[in-house]
Amino acid sequence: MNDLLVLGDEALALGAIDAGLSVAYGYPGTPSTEIIEYLQKYSQEHDPDLIARWCANEKTSYEGAVGVSYAGKRALVTMKHVGLNVAADAFVNSALLEINGGLVAAVCDDPGMHSSQNEQDSRFYADFAGIICLEPKNHQEAYDMTREAFAISEKFKIPVLVKLVTRLSHSRAVIKRAEPLKKTDNGKASDRLGWMALPSLSRKNWQSLLEQQKYFKEYSEKSSFNSLILHKDFREYGVITTGLGGNYFRENISDLDYVPSQLHIGVYPVPEEKIKKLASAVKKIIVIEEGYPFVERMITSILSISLPVHGKLDGTVPPSGELTPDNVRPALGLAKRASQKFSDETLPGRPPQLCQGCPHTDTFTALNNAVAHLSEHIVTSDIGCYALGALPPLSAIETLLCMGASVGMARGASEAGRKNVVATIGDSTFLHSGITGLIDAASTNTDMTLIIMDNSTTAMTGMQDTIVSSPRIKEIVLACGVSPDHLKEIKVLPKNDKENTEIIKQEISYHGLSVIIALRECIHIIGKKK
C-alpha cells in the first residue's frame, strides 16, 4: 500500500490507526509526544471519529484508556518512561482486569537522558505487572508490533506495553502500511466481575493471570520478533541483543572475522527455550541490550548449565547511557574505526538555554532579586523549560525531582523549619500534579510561596495546548483553599521587574501560603498565532 516517511512515534501511531483504534489519550513527554500529535493531525485531516486527546497527566490518561476498553473499543495511551511511574497504579492493576477492547500502552524510554531525569527501563514494569511487552527495533516493527499488540491484548485480555526509545521515536524511515482494519466494537464488557479490583475478585484474577503466564511464554517463544540465528561452526561466543542493540550489532558484523550465533529478543516474557538453544551452541554469551540489563539478569536462572555471561553487569557493555554502533564494539572484540581528528579536542559545550525573550527569564530575575538579601531561602522547581533556570547566569533553582514535586518539597522544607521557601512550577506541570500538593499546603496554611509560571502552553515538549486556559488557573488555586488576599498575578516583562520583585518579596515575607501567578505567553505560541 502506502510507503510513508515517518518518525518511529508516527509509525507506532499509524500501527494503532490501522489496528482500528478508537481513542488515544496521553500526556506530552519527550520522546513520546509525537504519537498523540500525529493522531490529532490524522483525526483532523482524515478521520474525525478518531479521538486523540491530551489529558491532565499519565494516570488520568491511562484510566481513560481503561474506560474505553471496558466500553468495548480499542484504546492507546502514550507517555514517556517516567510518566509510567505516575500511571503505575492504574497500569499494574489493569493487568488484573479482563481487558475487553484492546488496550495498548506506548511508553518511550530515554536511555542517555536526552530530555529526562533518569533512564529507567519500562520492560521491568511490564514484567512487574505480568503482561506482554513488545520492543520494536525499527520503524516497520513499531508499526507491525503495535497492530499485533492490539490483537494480543484482546486475545489474552491483558494490557500490552509497546516500548520505544528516543533514538527510534525520533528517527525517520519509510514504512509499508498493511490493509487497515475498521474500528472495532466488542460491546461493553459482559462480566463486571472481571472489572472490579476487590480483594476477593483480585485473588481469583491474580491466580488467572499467573496461570496465563505459560501462554504468554508460548506466544513469545513462537514470535518471529524473537529471532534465533545459529552458526554452528563458530562456538566461541553467542550474542543476545534487544531493542536497538540488535541494530548496532548488525552494523558491526562486516568487521567480524566470524559471525556469531545471535538471538534477538523483541517480545517479552523472554523466550527461555530460544535462550537455552543459543546457550547449547556457544561457549559464552554476550548480551547487548538497550536499557537496563533486564535479559542479562535472567539468563543464569534460565540455564541449567553454567555458562559465562558478559554484558552490562560486568561492564563489557557500557551500563549507562544509550548504546551506539561504537560503544558495542569492544564487547565484540573490535577496535575503534579509523576516523578524522583535530589536534585540540576541547570545545566549549553548548547546553540548552531559555530562549531570548522567554518570560521565565523575567520571572527568575525578579525572584533572584527578591531573595538576594534574605538570610536564608529555598527555591524548589519542577519539570519543564524553566528547569533551565538552574543554569548560569540565572542559577535560580535548587531542586528538581519529578512532575509536581516543587510544591510538596516546598511544603516539607517549610514544615522542617526553613524560612522563605519558594516553589516554582509551570502551568501544565501544576495541572499535571501540582494541584494536589497545593491542597496539602492550603490545608495547613503552610508558610511558603508558590510561583506558577503560566506561559499558556506545554512548552518544553513543543507547545501542546494546556487543558485549562490561563484565566481558570486562578479559580483552581482559590478552590484549593488559598486565601484570595495572597493570590497575586504578575505580568512578567523586563519593564515590570521592580514591581514584580516587590510583590514576590511581600508574599515571601507573609507567614502563610501565597500563590503568585506569573503570566506571559511563551514566545513560540505568539509566533504560532501570527
Q: Is 530 in the site for other proteins (CB under 8 A)?
A: no
**Contact with other proteins (CB under 8 A): which of 182, 232, 341, 373?**
341
Sheet holding 309-310, edge to edge: 227-229, 261-265, 238-242, 285-289, 309-310
241: Cα separation from own chain's centroid: 22
Question: CB-wise, 260 or 269, nearer to other proteins?
Answer: 260
Shortest approach of other proteins to residue 34 CB, angstroms?
Answer: 7
Shortest approach of other proteins to residue 322 CB, angstroms?
Answer: 9
Per-residue binding letters, 74-103, with other proteins (x by CB under 8 A): ------------------------------
32 close to 142: Cβ distance less than 8 angstroms:
no
238 close to 264: Cβ distance less than 8 angstroms:
no
Q: Is 174 in the site for other proteins (CB under 8 A)?
A: yes
Q: In the 8-state DSSP scheme, what is residue 66? A: H
Cell of 153: 491484548
Determine the Cα–Cα distance for residues 291 and 266; give it in Å rounded to an integer. 13
- Amino acid of residue 361: T
**Contact with other proteins (CB under 8 A): which of 461, 466, 470, 500?**
461
**Contact with other proteins (CB under 8 A): which of 43, 184, 202, 353?**
353
Rounded to 5 degrees, φ, ψ at 175 are -120, 160
Neighbouring CB atoms inside 10 A of 335's CB total: 8
Question: CB-wise, 175 or 275, nearer to other proteins?
Answer: 175
Per-residue binding letters, 359-398, with other proteins (x by CB under 8 A): --------------------------x--x----------
Q: Is 46 in the site for other proteins (CB under 8 A)?
A: no
Nearest CA-CA partner of 11 in 161, 164, 153:
164
Question: CB-wise, 170 or 312, nearer to other proteins?
Answer: 170
Q: In the 8-state DSSP scheme, what is residue 486? A: G
**Contact with other proteins (CB under 8 A): which of 10, 22, 23, 30?**
30
**Contact with other proteins (CB under 8 A): which of 167, 274, 411, 474?**
167
Which one of the spans 83-91, 96-104, 188-196, 460-468 is the region binding other proteins (CB under 8 A)? 460-468
Determine the Cα–Cα distance for residues 317 and 303; give it in Å rounded to an integer. 21
Q: Is 248 in the site for other proteins (CB under 8 A)?
A: yes
Shortest approach of other proteins to residue 349 CB, angstroms?
Answer: 7
Per-residue binding letters, 274-313, with other proteins (x by CB under 8 A): ----------------------------------------
Q: Is 2 in the site for other proteins (CB under 8 A)?
A: no
Q: In the 8-state DSSP scheme, what is residue 336? A: P
Q: Is 432 in the site for other proteins (CB under 8 A)?
A: no
Determine the Cα–Cα distance for residues 530 and 528; give it in Å rounded to an integer. 6
Q: Is 349 in the site for other proteins (CB under 8 A)?
A: yes
Residues 6+ apart with CB under 8 A from 391: 351, 353
The CA–CA distances, whole Å, from 280 to 234, 283, 313 equal 12, 8, 22
If DSSP codes are grouped into helix, strand and coil, which group holds residue 410?
Answer: helix
Sign of the Cα torsion 417, 423, 429, 435 reads positive
Cell of 397: 533553582
Which one of the spans 183-191, 214-222, 224-232, 458-466 is the region binding other proteins (CB under 8 A)? 458-466
Q: Is 40 in the site for other proteins (CB under 8 A)?
A: no
Give me the half-sphere count of Cα atoms (radius 13 Å) on the Cβ side of residue 37.
Answer: 19
Determine the Cα–Cα distance for residues 134 and 117; give it in Å rounded to an integer. 24
Q: Is 529 in the site for other proteins (CB under 8 A)?
A: no
Shortest approach of other proteins to residue 255 CB, angstroms?
Answer: 10
Q: Is 342 in the site for other proteins (CB under 8 A)?
A: yes
Q: Is 1 in the site for other proteins (CB under 8 A)?
A: no
Shortest approach of other proteins to residue 211 CB, angstroms?
Answer: 39
If DSSP codes are grouped into helix, strand and coil, which group holds residue 280?
Answer: helix
Q: Is 335 in the site for other proteins (CB under 8 A)?
A: no
Residues touching other proteins, count (CB under 8 A): 48
**Contact with other proteins (CB under 8 A): which of 31, 64, 136, 404?**
31
Rounded to 5 degrees, φ, ψ at 292 are -75, 165
Q: Is 265 in the site for other proteins (CB under 8 A)?
A: no
Per-residue binding letters, 98-127, with other proteins (x by CB under 8 A): ----------------xx------------
Q: Is 526 in the site for other proteins (CB under 8 A)?
A: no
Helices (H), 305-459: 359-371, 405-415, 427-429, 435-443
Q: Is 173 in the site for other proteins (CB under 8 A)?
A: yes
Question: CB-wise, 350 or 495, nearer to other proteins?
Answer: 350
Shortest approach of other proteins to residue 141 CB, angstroms?
Answer: 12
Q: What is the CA radius of gyration of the chain?
A: 25
Shortest approach of other proteins to residue 426 CB, angstroms?
Answer: 14
Nearest CA-CA partner of 175 in 35, 5, 430:
5
Question: CB-wise, 48 or 348, nearer to other proteins?
Answer: 348
Nearest 10 degrees: CA dihedral of 91, 94, 96, 102? Answer: -120
Binding interface with other proteins (CB under 8 A): 5, 7, 30-31, 33-34, 114-115, 138, 167-168, 170-174, 244, 247-248, 250-252, 324-326, 336-344, 347-355, 385, 388, 460-462
